[in-house]
Amino acid sequence: MKLLVVDDELDVKDMFLQRFRKEIKAGKISLVFAHSGEEAIELLSQMQPMDIVLILSDINMPGMTGFDLLKIVKEKLPELKIFMVSAYGDALNMNKAKEHGADGFIEKPVNFQLLEEKIFSAQ
Amino acid sequence: MKLSLKSKIWITMLSIVLMFAFFVLLYFPEQQQKALLSNYNTEVQNLSNTVALGVNIALTEQNLEGVETAMNYVKQNKELIFVSIVQIEDSTKEKTILQTVPENYPVKVNTTSNDTMIVKVTPFITPTMKGEIMLGMGTHKIVESKKEIRNTSLMVCFIVLVIGIFIGFLLSKNITVPVLALRDAALKVGEGDRTQQVSSRGQDEIGELGRAFNKMVKALSLAESERKAAQEQLIHSEKMASLGQMTAGIAHEIKNPLNFVNNFSALSVELLEELEETTDAEEKLEIMESLKSNLTKITAHGKRADSIVATMLQHSRGTAGEKVPTDINQLCSEYTDLSFHGIRATSREFNCTITKDFEDNLPLINAIPQDLSRVILNLLNNGFYAVADRVKKSEDPAYKPEVRVTTMKKDGSIFIHVRDNGSGIPKAIKDKIFEPFFTTKPTGEGTGLGLSLSYDIVAKQHQGMMSVQSEEGSYTEFTIQIPI
């Protein structure tokens, strides 16, 4: 299963690689990273074949926000699942994510156990 | 002509006294003397007539003793200088002095009145002779009484002068002293002293004026303290509002490092367990590298959260801050982020390109960070508001909101520019934006104090300058200049 993680914080990459090191080693999961919405769109459009099944995207990013990305992804690749990750775990944000067609909502700090469950149940 | 009230009172008083003195010293004595002289002339004429009558009767009766008696009638008079019987020749009209009392007085037939003597003539006719009586009387008495009048006048003048001076002092004391006190008090009130009160005991108009003044100052002071309290309340709410807006930004800013701290520490525990289990030397080394890197990251993100909390505390503290060497780039960067996340927290749709164009190696400047940060936050908030406003109003899909923060060193000062490509400031209100309570935002969204407080912070606390350039519908750029 290939995941795309979009976050402007650089240490996110390291965190995910460590957290899923066993799954990566076992070949269950592979991770791709983008540091902005724009980078994610470009990555998605250039990928051949497009085998990503889930995007985990931060909401608050300079430039294109997670919601912008969500809209574009749902428009172009409606099959692709996308989870929103945000420090603002309030109802407004969650509802909006749902409205825009997000498949899940993860609050920061990320509870990876919960995330793992969600990832595998979404499959 | 500019004259003080005191001078006017004194001039009036002295004019009255001088006028009085003129009448008493010059006019009245003159009139008195004229009256006395006219009386005296009549008196001398009467005396002369009486003597002439006596002489006439005596000569008609051929009684020489009677002539003597008539002459002696005036002899007793102290003022008598001479009395003469003059004979007039019928044919030649020539005058001859027949007899004079006192006998040795040198009388001439043409002797007339002068300053010291009044001469009166009474003609008489008897069957035997035609003649006249010449009577000369001294004016000594008149001169004496003139002197007496003058002395009395002088005395009266002196008394009037003394009374005048006394009244002058009294008037000065009762009018000018309270008026001057009122003026001084009014000046002090004008300078901002609201504790001034004047004496208000008098029952006259000046006393009333004093009471009215005291009442006015009290009302003014009350109004001012009310205004001050209201202003402080507003400043406080402005602070709270910006703090509230910041809180959302701060929550985001703290949760991000917290995310790393929590997860990297949890991961480290897992890695330690693996380290204990594994026997492979290479893998051990790899795990230890990861652990080291995790701990470094935990420390870094912990510090990051700490600095954010410190920033928030600084912001919420009062204005009694002290000047400390401050890194302007760091301050601008932190508060730009805080402002951005704050806006993002309240308005999800908001998007904007932020450009930080900071000159490297700026010297630290002595500044009050919590105050200066409020200025930056305020300018950024305004900038974001302006671009959001333009997005709302314009339908142009090509419009890309942008806020640029620039710092640079130039001519011994540090310049901070905050430029947005938002809706701009209309020319008509450009002069007013630094005025307290001026706001274009809807009620409840702005106190109208942000820019005025910012201006005060830059100009008064940091001896700097704050200016604005803008073009409606195009851009706004605020410039802060702070001397190094």
Q: Do A65 and B351 touch (CB under 8 A)?
A: yes
Model confidence at B292, pLDDT cuts 50, 70, 90, reads very high
Torsion of CA A83, A88, A94, A100, to 10 degrees: -60
Determine how many CB atoms are found less than 10 A away from the CB of residue B173. Answer: 10
More confident residue, B421 or B255: B421
Q: How far is A62 from chain B (nearest CA, A)?
A: 7
Residue of B260, B340, B348 lying closest to A11 (CB–CB) = B260
Query: In chain A, what residues touch B290 (CB-CB under 8 Å)?
Result: 18
Model confidence at A16, pLDDT cuts 50, 70, 90, reads very high
Model confidence at B371, pLDDT cuts 50, 70, 90, reads confident
Q: Do B348 and A63 touch (CB under 8 A)?
A: no
Q: At B425, give phi and psi (nearest 5°).
A: -110, 125
Q: Does B271 touch chain A (CB under 8 A)?
A: yes
Q: Tell me how long chain B is.
A: 484
Closest listed residue to residue B481, CA positions, set B429, B411, B427, B405: B411
Instruction: Provide the residue type at B196 as one letter.
Output: Q
Query: In chain A, what residues touch B351 (CB-CB under 8 Å)?
Result: 63-65, 68
d(CA A110, CA B295): 18
Q: Find, in chain A, the residue whose alpha carbon is nearest to that of B253.
A: A87
Question: Bridge partners of B77?
Answer: none
Q: How large is the average pLDDT for residues A20-46?
A: 91
Model confidence at B482, pLDDT cuts 50, 70, 90, reads very high
In chain A, DSSP assigns E strands to 2-6, 30-34, 52-58, 81-86, 104-107
Model confidence at B198, pLDDT cuts 50, 70, 90, reads confident
Q: Do B267 and A19 touch (CB under 8 A)?
A: yes
At A86 the pLDDT is 84
Residue B430 has pLDDT above 90, yes or no: no
Q: Find, in chain B, the residue whose alpha carbon is nearest to that of A90.
A: B345
- The secondary structure of residue B363, as a DSSP letter, is P
Instruction: Tell me how many residue pairs between chain A and chain B have CB atoms under 8 A apart.
Output: 62
Model confidence at B9, pLDDT cuts 50, 70, 90, reads confident
pLDDT tens-digit readout, A48-78: 888 898 999 998 787 788 888 999 999 988 8
Model confidence at B320, pLDDT cuts 50, 70, 90, reads low
Q: How far is CA B225 from CA A40, B53, B222, B228, B230, in A?
A: 59, 104, 5, 5, 8
Are B48 and B135 spatial neighbours (Cβ–Cβ below 8 Å)? yes
Q: Find, in chain B, the residue whose alpha carbon is nearest to that of A95.
A: B348
At B316 the pLDDT is 59
Chain A, window 17-56: residues with a beta carbon less than 8 angstroms from a chain B beta carbon: 18-19
At B442 the pLDDT is 63
ipTM for this model: 0.88
Residue B411 backbone zone (phi > 0: left; psi -120 to 50: alpha; other: beta): left
Determine how many CB atoms are found less than 10 A away from the CB of residue B273. Answer: 11
Chain A, window 74-113: residues with a beta carbon less than 8 angstroms from a chain B beta carbon: 87-88, 92-93, 96, 108-110, 112
Strands of the sheet with A104-107, listed across from one edge: A30-34, A2-6, A52-58, A81-86, A104-107
Are B4 and B124 spatial neighbours (Cβ–Cβ below 8 Å)? no
pLDDT tens-digit readout, B127-181: 888 999 999 999 888 888 888 888 888 898 899 889 988 988 888 888 888 888 8
Full-model pTM: 0.47
Closest listed residue to residue B439, CA positions, set B453, B427, B451, B423: B451
pLDDT cut 90: percent of chain B above it: 27
Quote the longest CA-to-CA distance of chain A.
Answer: 38
Q: Do B260 and A68 touch (CB under 8 A)?
A: no
* Four-residue CA torsion sign, B156, B158, B162, B165: positive
Residue B473 backbone zone (phi > 0: left; psi -120 to 50: alpha; other: beta): left
Q: Average model confidence (pLDDT) for chain B?
A: 85
* Four-residue CA torsion sign, B255, B261, B265, B271: positive
- The secondary structure of residue B115, as a DSSP letter, is T
- The secondary structure of residue B279, as a DSSP letter, is -
At B102 the pLDDT is 85
At B242 the pLDDT is 65
At B128 the pLDDT is 83
- The secondary structure of residue B457, as a DSSP letter, is I
Q: Does B348 touch chain A (CB under 8 A)?
A: yes
Query: In chain A, what residues touch B304 (CB-CB under 8 Å)?
Result: none
At B44 the pLDDT is 93
Determine how many CB atoms are found less than 10 A away from the CB of residue B334. Answer: 19
Give the contacts of B139 (CB within 8 A, at least 6 positions apart). B37, B40, B79, B115, B116, B117, B118
Question: Bridge partners of B468?
Answer: B478
